[in-house]
Amino acid sequence: MNCTCYFQSPIGLIKITGTELGISEIIFVEEKIGTSSSFILKVVEDGIHQLEKCFQGKLKIFTLKLDQKGTEFQQSVWNELSNISFGKTISYQALAIQLGDKKSTRAVASANAKNKLAIVIPCHCVIGSNNELTGYAWNLERKKCLLEFEKYTQQINLF
């Protein structure tokens, strides 16, 4: 059984979908597609609550039960992304090296792009080797906003 709800963040509308197993999707959308579920699973309610706290500057580590489907390689990339500290960035190449294969940079970028758990699995924290913002499924302006927000909250020590 799926449950879908929407959360209006400061940088756009977020669609949150979950199952009894966990949150399967947190993505930016331009508009509500269909209607929200007539029921709310606790895991989706927790997702909304934690996103609210994050955008208020009161949360930097998510503790949500997740249920994102992907290949073994994609899962390994997403797990490594989860280890990125709030407010920090890493290059695609450095991420590939951490995963044990510098030559897998393109595959790492592809797995990063398939992440459907925006913000929670911080794919926005992956940048080019030249420190340039590159690629973000939900547009580079949002990526820039998220990185600036995290940097700002780190600087003023809201946590």
Q: Is residue 123 flagged as an active site residue?
A: yes
Q: Where is 12: in which H helix or E strand? A: strand 12-19
Of 5, 123, 125, 145, which is the active-site residue?
123
Give the CA-trace dihedral at 83, 156, 144, 31, to 10 degrees. 90
Contact 18, 3 (CB under 8 A): yes
Active-site residue list: 123
